[in-house]
Structure formats: C-alpha cells, structure tokens
Amino acid sequence: MNVFLKWKIVRIILTSLYLMVGWILFTGSLALFSLFLGGMFSFLVALLTYSIFIEEKEAARRSLLPHIYLIVIYIFVLLFKIYLASFKMVFSVMKGNINPRIVHFRTRLKSDVARVILANSISLTPGTITLDLDEDHLIVHWLNAKTTHSHFASSLIKGHFEMWLRKIWI
C-alpha cells in the first residue's frame, strides 16, 4: 500500500470522526439507532468529501487532532474575555468615548482551522469585528482603538487568543 493511499484512508477516517462528533452534538442522542445512522451517513459523506475537509498538504501538520482539554480551557478564556469586553464597551459607549479604526496585523498561527477560530473569537468579542482573513493577515474593525500601530494593536486585540490557539493546534 503506497503512502498516498494510506493518507487517503486516514483523511476519510478523520473526516468521518469529525462528522460523527458533529452528528452527536446536533442530535444530542446516544441511542444505538441514532449512532448507527450517524456513523453510516458520516462515513458516506466522508467518502465523497474528504478532500474538501482535509487537504493533502495537511499531512505534515499536527493541526488535525487538537488537544481537547485545552479547547475546554480556551472556551472558558473566550467567555471570560467576551464578558470583560462587553462591560468595557458599555462604559465606552455610555461615555461617548469611542475611537473607531481599522487595523491590520498578522498572526503566527499555521493551521487554517486555528486562524479561522482566531478570526471568529475576535469577532465574538464586543468592540471588534474581523473584516478579512487572508492567509496570516487579518483586517479588524476596532471600535475603541487605542493605537494604529499594527504590532501593539495585534497584541491588544489577539491577546491571549493566539497563545491558546497555538497550544491547541501545534
């Protein structure tokens, strides 16, 4: 069996597992029939679309299997940051002290999944919206900008998100 066939089989299995986890989360059922049906459809969809979910070049990266326990911690960090930012935005808007700017900066994350999660985490945080993500370049609308310097703005906006995502997806 050649390497390409092995990698194809691994991609199909990983895609099936990801789809099965999604099936369980959306149905909320661990009934035997539901698991069988989900497994069957997950495998069928994985056979047809594995090349879309996991590209061939992803073989060199360990970004396909994240550290699950760190994802749980990341969710709590994200919720805490959203909570803090919501109070900051309320006080800034009530005082009329806003300074909207569009800032550009880069991320050091290598995984496409980690970059998308970073962009979505920034957008979920009140006061910031990710306008564009192109490879490692982010364009963010920042409602209460403290600076336009890209390095300082990136450290304020990305904050701990990038650090946690780098640990989750190596």
pLDDT for the residue numbered 65: 63
3-state class (DSSP) for residue 116: helix
pTM of the model: 0.69
Which residues does the chain have with pLDDT short of 70?
56-65, 170
Domain spans in the chain, listed from the N-terminal domain onward: 3-60, 68-168
CA 77/CA 160 separation, integer angstroms: 8
What 8-state DSSP symbol labels residue 99?
B
CA 24/CA 1 separation, integer angstroms: 33
- What are the tens digits of pLDDT across the range 9-28? 888 888 899 899 999 999 98
- Write out the H or E segment, with its range, that includes residue 103: strand 101-106
Alpha helices in 96-170, H assignment, sequence order: 112-124, 150-168
